[in-house]
Structure 1
Amino acid sequence: MNQSVFASPHSTGLVANRYQLQKLIGSGGMGEVFLATDILLGETPVAIKFLAQTVCDSKIQKDFAREALMSASLSQKSLHIVRAYDYGVSDTGKPFYVMEYLNGKGLKELIPLPLPKFIHLARQICLGLQCAHQGIQIDGKVYPLVHRDIKPANILVVPDPILVQLVKILDFGIAKFINYATTASTNKGFHGTLPYCSPEQLEGENLDSRSDIYSLGVIMFEMLTGAKPWQPETDLFGAWYKAHNFEKPRAIADVKPNLKIPSQLNNLIMACLEKKASDRPQNVGEILQIINSIDPLQCAIFSTNISSLATPKLTSGYELIAALKKQSHQFTWPQNKPIQEIVFPQQLNLNQNNLATVWLMLPKKEIQLRANCQIHNRFLFVTSPHPMLLWVTLLYNQKLEPKWLPCYLDTQNPLNRQLIISLVNNASYPLICFTLEAPHSCIQILNSDIEPSQRQKLQIWLEQSQKLPLASQAHVSKNLLKQQYKQIQSQMLQQLSSTHHMEQLAKKLS
């Protein structure tokens, strides 16, 4: 990290003899953000934020350096916190920090959100906050970090080939520094964004993670309704002080009568908005537990009519393949997966459609050999002792050994249920093939159609899973399915052999 005093970027266009400013890309109450290139790393694009607060006092500059260092350390721990690379103070006393450049949209631009997208994004916001609140370790001591200015403008949503929409939280630690610098220079003890401030923040009290939880409650209310829980007559401090300290938040049902959400989610948001910190969820883990318990199928029922699940959104497998191939260059092998011959399910987003996909890694030569295989699938399900689905894909060619691609899905896992909903909706799924050899590229995308009878079964099994009590013996059910897997392999091969025999006979007769 660079803590020296640099020349003013506005006069030279070069920051720290390394970052070449390109253009202003954002501004607000906290300062200005510039797009720049890192000339030491081959013109890599970065974003540089110059804070509006001028600091000339050496002690305050050291405090900024400490906060920036802690924030940079935090950004290495969570995917959902913007990555910080460098920091410093210009010769005019403007603190700045350098961060990854992200081409996305502010959460504010996406509000209001349908329930499934709300769940997806709210969960990621919580994961970022949880990481910060748990703290970072410096010299053997843990330092929890409170954001102090959680609001839609500080949450960026960027495209992602795996998560579809990836949340990045901005400005961790900056609000605390600005508040300190403002207090030291003007004797005013408050800095924040009034609609999202907790009562204790408005009072100038010492803050902990529960203050961020209050702000999160305001954001979640707004994400669903497009409005804030209060409507004060003015935007002045006094009006918001009265709202946060004394006025009851509006009910979600009153603000948006046609919006239907699960009762546990409504209760969670209202609990986050409690005036007393002791009455709110005491940590973000409690919030995540409730969000994770909300079933994707339940979201689909609240968002659309259940009968619409059976309507395919992409009727042609060829259309699906063509659309995916246009994006195949974006696909990279996940860092958390080993480099070996494996197969796993993954959800993607294509043209506003959620797609269940199968990712596999094979030697390049085998992928090329399998390109012209027939592709078949079957699904098996057991309800007891634990609801578990076996999703089998077969690459079949009479001249080659059959290639089996099994995936086991615990249907009490919300993410797995979302995969099954995608299978029902889209009537087909792609197989995305990566080479075992470096650079592990995606070189082939195949497609497997799902028979209507199989889709009907999947929908029935989803509804059954929803009604079953929570279980904890997934390994037992997986072993049961493994036994059935051997039977289904022989059945599928026998059926394919019979079909091939009939086709050959028909050719002779014709």
Structure 2
Amino acid sequence: MLQQKVNKMLIQKHKTELDTYIGKFLNHRYLIRDLIGKGGGGKVYLAEDCTNAGIPVAVKILSLNLDNQTISQRFAKEIFISSQLGRKSKHIVRILGYGITDDKIPFYVMEYLQGKNLLEFINNQPLTLENFFDIIYQICLGLQCAYQGVSLKGKICPVIHRDIKPENIFITPDAKKGKIVKILDFSIAKLLKERAGATLSQSFISSLPYTAPENMEGRKLLDIRSDIYSLGILMYQMLCGKHPFQLKSNSFGEWYQAHRFETPLLLNEMINEANVPVELENLVMSCLAKEIKNRPENITEVLEKLELIQRQFYQITKNDDKHISELSVDITPLKLTSKNICLQKKWPENKPIAPIAFPDLLYTVQGEIPTFWVMLPQADIYKFLDKQNTTEFIQKINIYPMIMWVTVLHEANLSLTRWLSYFLDIKDKQEERIVRHLAEKGYYHLLFFALEEPTKCPHVTTVTITPHQREQLLICLEASQNSQSLIPSNQSKTILKAEYEKIKPKILQRILDEQQKKTDIKLWLSNFFTKRFKF
């Protein structure tokens, strides 16, 4: 009954358009209800999966006829590739099945997504930098998964998309993350290893405004940098609200002329007061390079640069003395850095005045930033300022979705160490968000409060999380969505604490080893310059 109400709501959402497929069954399973999208590659329909409680699905019927065995095999292979990608990454739409109509027209079935495509989301307006980083990062993660390849006949084969455009990027609301970005139409991608087959001019599938020039030239040997060019146009459009090339005609010749020979305006020239960081502008323009060799080598390079730019944008440095942005911060009357916002924080009234630690999210114009609040004696705080610290995350997600967050403060000269810890229960929505922001941001602010004067935060430092730790946090989040709790939360805490006590000596030894390396380097440099520059 509930499913019928959902179906009715979904069907009423779309204005029914007269179509020969509407009302028909495909494969005696999928009842076509409405046409919800169409393009050069085919038409997309809202349908009911009648063998699965009538759940809504999306069916794409391609503009292709399987009139020979070669094309039929090719279609089956591409769907197999697509289904693998959808299982590997939540940022690629899931393929649920496929088939052939009575007229030998191929179709495939996807998860039904509610939301907007990127073109609708942009709506000719520049995105905020917060929205930009969130969306483009998820797109890059999906592409990275595809470029890492799928298993086909015992071999790992990278997959390029070839048709990256705003209509193939879908943004769907998510209760936990805010929004999930998914890439569509990987089923029309071609394996890199098959690029020596049919010429690209015979199988041209890209949309002209987003097509790399070498793709339009029909080159057989394309690689992921052709997708990076299309990604560059997406980034440009997201930041400006406009396409880098403003053409009056949609002809192949004019688009080729633009992609191959015209240089787009810089982002801050295209739109007044764009306020795009120079480093981000440079990255976008490098993706739009005319020659493949001048673009980023791979999507990982793009991701790394985006992370670095995002950190610079958020001013993640220990000497954080610059403004994060020129935008007004709603929660304060001044234009403040996230560090300055932290310095205005007061110890919560519902927390005891005691040496404890707990996490929280800091709300800024750039989004939510993870923080770790700690109360210590005033004397200890001064001892640990600008000293070595490290972060550990301990988990046993297979038995319970919980992470033990450990921050270690160490003062080598005094042999003083403080171990700060907190249990993050991923079942709790707020704490799940903290874990997600730790993974996505790659840092957190450490706020110090003194036992003697708890009303204000006198000192803040920024702690960086390693790429490996970020990856592990994302894996934990992904695993927690499907895991079942085998034990109660209290028992999980006991197990994690035992593991924590077990590895504490190793953590401390690693800190000491790192400190010794720094001391050895300083000593070597001192001796080197003393011998080199004797007077």
TM over 0.5: yes
Q: Quote the offset at 1:26 in angstroms.
A: 1.8
**Secondary structure in structure 1 of the residue aligned to 2:256:** helix
Amino acid at match of 1:214: Y
Q: Residue in 2 aligned with 1:32?
A: 43
The 1-side partners of 2:36 and 2:364 are apart by 28
Q: Quote the offset at 1:281 in angstroms.
A: 0.8
The 2-side partners of 1:143 and 1:308 are apart by 45
Q: Residue in 2 aligned with 1:172?
A: 186
The answer to which structure, 1 or 2, has the higher relative contact order (CA under 8 A, 6+ apart) is 1
Give CA-to-partner distance per residue, 1:164-192, whole Å, 9 cap, x none. Answer: 22110000031559xx9xx9899845331
The 1-side partners of 2:207 and 2:69 are apart by 27
Amino acid at match of 1:171: D
1:307 pairs with 2:336: yes
Q: Which runs of structure 2 are paired with 1:106-125 in the superposition (5 Å)?
A: 106-111=117-122, 112-125=126-139
| CA distance 1:19–1:308, shift in 2 (3 Å) | same
Amino acid at match of 2:288: L
**Secondary structure in structure 1 of the residue aligned to 2:51:** helix
Q: Residue in 2 aligned with 1:453?
A: 456
1:285 pairs with 2:300: yes
Aligned with residue 61 of structure 2, among 50, 60, 72: 50
Amino acid at match of 1:302: S
| CA distance 1:477–1:142, shift in 2 (3 Å) | closer
Amino acid at match of 1:234: S
Q: Residue in 2 aligned with 1:505?
A: none
Q: Residue in 1 aligned with 2:167?
A: 153
Q: Residue in 2 aligned with 1:255?
A: 270
Q: Residue in 1 aligned with 2:111?
A: 100
Q: Which runs of structure 2 are paired with 1:195-206 in the superposition (5 Å)?
A: 195-206=209-220
The 1-side partners of 2:64 and 2:305 are apart by 39
Task: Please tell me whether the aligned partners of residues 200 and 215 of structure 2 are also in contact (alpha carbons under 8 angstroms).
Answer: no
Q: Quote the offset at 1:124 in angstroms.
A: 0.9
Task: Please tell me whether the aligned partners of residues 133 and 209 of structure 1 are also in contact (alpha carbons under 8 angstroms).
Answer: yes
**Secondary structure in structure 2 of the residue aligned to 1:97:** strand
Q: Quote the offset at 1:37 in angstroms.
A: 2.0
Task: Please tell me whether the aligned partners of residues 388 and 478 of structure 1 are also in contact (alpha carbons under 8 angstroms).
Answer: no
Task: Please tell me whether the aligned partners of residues 391 and 406 of structure 2 are also in contact (alpha carbons under 8 angstroms).
Answer: no
Q: Residue in 2 aligned with 1:245?
A: 260
| CA distance 1:200–1:292, shift in 2 (3 Å) | same
Give CA-to-partner distance per residue, 1:212-251, whole Å, 9 cap, x none. Answer: 0110011111110111222234221111101111111221
Q: Quote the offset at 1:349 in angstroms.
A: 9.9
The 1-side partners of 2:61 and 2:44 are apart by 6
| CA distance 1:49–1:347, shift in 2 (3 Å) | farther
Amino acid at match of 1:307: L
Q: Residue in 2 aligned with 1:19?
A: 30
| CA distance 1:355–1:383, shift in 2 (3 Å) | closer
Task: Please tell me whether the aligned partners of residues 22 and 35 of structure 2 are also in contact (alpha carbons under 8 angstroms).
Answer: no
Give CA-to-partner distance per residue, 1:305-360, whole Å, 9 cap, x none. Answer: 44285779xx9xxxxxxxxxxxxxxxxxxxxxxxxxxx9968799999748699xx
**Secondary structure in structure 2 of the residue aligned to 1:215:** helix
Amino acid at match of 1:290: K
The 1-side partners of 2:360 and 2:100 are apart by 44
Task: Please tell me whether the aligned partners of residues 82 and 186 of structure 2 are also in contact (alpha carbons under 8 angstroms).
Answer: yes
Q: Quote the offset at 1:388 in angstroms.
A: 6.3
RMSD: 4.6
**Secondary structure in structure 1 of the residue aligned to 2:161:** coil
Aligned with residue 383 of structure 1, among 362, 373, 386: 386
The 1-side partners of 2:173 and 2:162 are apart by 26
The 2-side partners of 1:167 and 1:349 are apart by 22
Count of matched residue pairs: 379
Amino acid at match of 2:325: F
Amino acid at match of 1:117: N
Task: Please tell me whether the aligned partners of residues 239 and 276 of structure 2 are also in contact (alpha carbons under 8 angstroms).
Answer: no
The 1-side partners of 2:25 and 2:152 are apart by 32
| CA distance 1:351–1:216, shift in 2 (3 Å) | closer
Amino acid at match of 1:125: I
Amino acid at match of 1:245: R
The 2-side partners of 1:32 and 1:303 are apart by 45
Q: Quote the offset at 1:263 in angstroms.
A: 2.4
Task: Please tell me whether the aligned partners of residues 164 and 227 of structure 2 are also in contact (alpha carbons under 8 angstroms).
Answer: yes
| CA distance 1:269–1:46, shift in 2 (3 Å) | same
Give CA-to-partner distance per residue, 1:401-436, whole Å, 9 cap, x none. Answer: xxx846799x9986254x659x99xxxxxxxxxxxx
In the alignment, structure 2 segments of 5+ residues that lack a partner are 1-18, 316-323, 329-334, 346-356, 393-404, 408-420, 425-433, 449-453, 470-503, 512-535
Task: Please tell me whether the aligned partners of residues 9 and 15 of structure 1 are also in contact (alpha carbons under 8 angstroms).
Answer: no
Q: Which runs of structure 2 are paired with 1:346-385 in the superposition (5 Å)?
A: 354=368, 378=375, 383-385=386-388
**Secondary structure in structure 2 of the residue aligned to 1:37:** strand
Task: Please tell me whether the aligned partners of residues 175 and 192 of structure 1 are also in contact (alpha carbons under 8 angstroms).
Answer: no
Give CA-to-partner distance per residue, 1:34-60, whole Å, 9 cap, x none. Answer: 122222222222111111233423321
**Secondary structure in structure 2 of the residue aligned to 1:258:** coil
Q: Residue in 1 aligned with 2:289?
A: 274
**Secondary structure in structure 2 of the residue aligned to 1:119:** helix
The 2-side partners of 1:185 and 1:279 are apart by 24
In the alignment, structure 1 segments of 5+ residues that lack a partner are 1-7, 316-342, 359-375, 393-403, 425-450, 483-510
**Secondary structure in structure 2 of the residue aligned to 1:302:** coil
The 1-side partners of 2:85 and 2:258 are apart by 33
The 2-side partners of 1:9 and 1:311 are apart by 60
